[in-house]
Structure 1
């Protein structure tokens, strides 16, 4: 009995030491994760995924969009699996957020705007072209546009066409599209856009981001550079 009674404190102390060790390991892991999350924020304040003309796009806003995108992919039996895919989704969603602000600024400078009726008409035209509202949602979802953001996508694409008209650009060829993109690039260059290096670097000439690279990802699995979200083929005549 005496031996047993002496062994109890020893076991308790051992458990406490093991518990303390696990706590230290967990704390170190948290520091490492937090360090990665906040790494490379010199060009943007901590908490900002990007700044556009002084306006912040919060990391929390971007993360919420990607979470909703993953949920929408799951509901539609689409795949958004793996670290590289998640990183690509983050960059692509950020490009959308930035590009919308660029188009809005270009529209303001050219004194063009769209009302709700015009946006609805443009959306109905796209839905008719693709066969149904659901078909449009699925088509755009595959390019990273959430179902709840279809109107915003349609408005942005329609604004591009109105900007082109205001500048005398007829969007009937690849050269004309390049001319419009060149103008939007000039607008973007004047807006002081910076991106948190965690998501790459902003390239005004391409209206996109160059992909971030991560040493802990194997070669060949780095995220690809996100492209512009374009209106479905043939939809330019929708408005």
Structure 2
């Protein structure tokens, strides 16, 4: 598999149209948490800061309001996609630790150099990662570290990151970490190793238009 394609396998889910906004109380067991992974909180503030980083980078990357509005439309589900990525990174790191996999700065830099050469320069790579994966420039090295970690874990397991057995390993780590997502952002499916929309009756979809009474 082409290296660039392979590095994208562990990135956040492709940015899609806006998911419904949810109205719900915070996770009462973990106030202020967007998610809890292995007993460690990802706070709402941390999540919002990550989203703000992407929005700021998107604003700086375009020349007019129309282009920025298009970027917003294309990344309407950014908050949930970002949380998915933050949780998945921790799950991957746990799986890598369990297998004794470590990543050096030299390995991250080597991957970045290779990708910059393919993309046509550092700026082009930053633009690609922002537009396609919602990764702002200041998070690029951090994200590439995840890609290296995924590749090395797959190699340790004797497989490719696209194989179901690789994701089974992540699923095992996900269950061990007992991921708990605030219902405001959905739920976490350990089997799929993915954030999913919550099916909680008491969480109200505030974007759904009110029903109009029908005449008798």
TM-score, normalised relative to structure 2 = 0.74
2:179 aligned with 1:190, yes or no?
Answer: no
Q: 1:102, CA displacement in angstroms?
A: 0.9
- CA deviation digits over 1:28-53, x for unaligned, max 9? xxxxxxxx5x61524x4110000000
CA distance in 2, matches of 1:211, 1:140: 25
- Give the RMSD, CA atoms, in angstroms: 2.3
Question: SS at the partner of 1:202?
Answer: strand
Once residues 74 and 214 of structure 1 are traced to their aligned partners in structure 2, the CA distance between those partners, rounded to angstroms, is 31
The structure where helix makes up a greater share of residues is: 1
Q: Equivalent residue for 2:122?
A: 133
1:122 aligns with 2:107: no
> Per-residue displacement from partner, 1:93-122 (whole Å, max 9, x unpaired)?
111111111111111111111111111001
Q: Distance in 2 between matches of 1:92 and 1:66?
A: 10
Mind listing any 5+ residue stretches in structure 1 that lack a counterpart? 1-35, 220-239
Separation (CA, whole Å) in 1 of partners of 2:178 and 2:106: 33
Q: Which residue pairs with 2:157 in the alignment?
A: 167
Provide TM-score, normalisation by structure 1.
0.68
Structure 2 portions without partners, runs of 5+ = 1-22, 63-67, 210-216
Cα 1:53–1:132 shift into 2, 3 Å: same
Count of paired positions: 177
Pick from 42, 54, 57: which aligns with 1:57? 42
CA contact (8 A) 2:27 2:182 kept: yes
Residue 201 of structure 1 pairs with residue 187 of structure 2: yes
Aligned equivalent of 2:56, options 71, 91, 109: 71
Paired residue for 2:72? 81
Would the aligned equivalents of 2:160 and 2:166 in 1 still touch at CA under 8 Å? no
Give 1:152's aligned residue: 142
- Equivalent position to 1:46, from 31, 38, 42: 31
Partner of 1:14: none
The runs of 4+ residues in structure 1 deviating greater than 4 Å are none
Partner secondary structure for residue 92 of structure 1: helix
Cα pair distance change 1:196/1:145, threshold 3 Å: same
Higher relative contact order (CA 8 A, sep 6+): 2
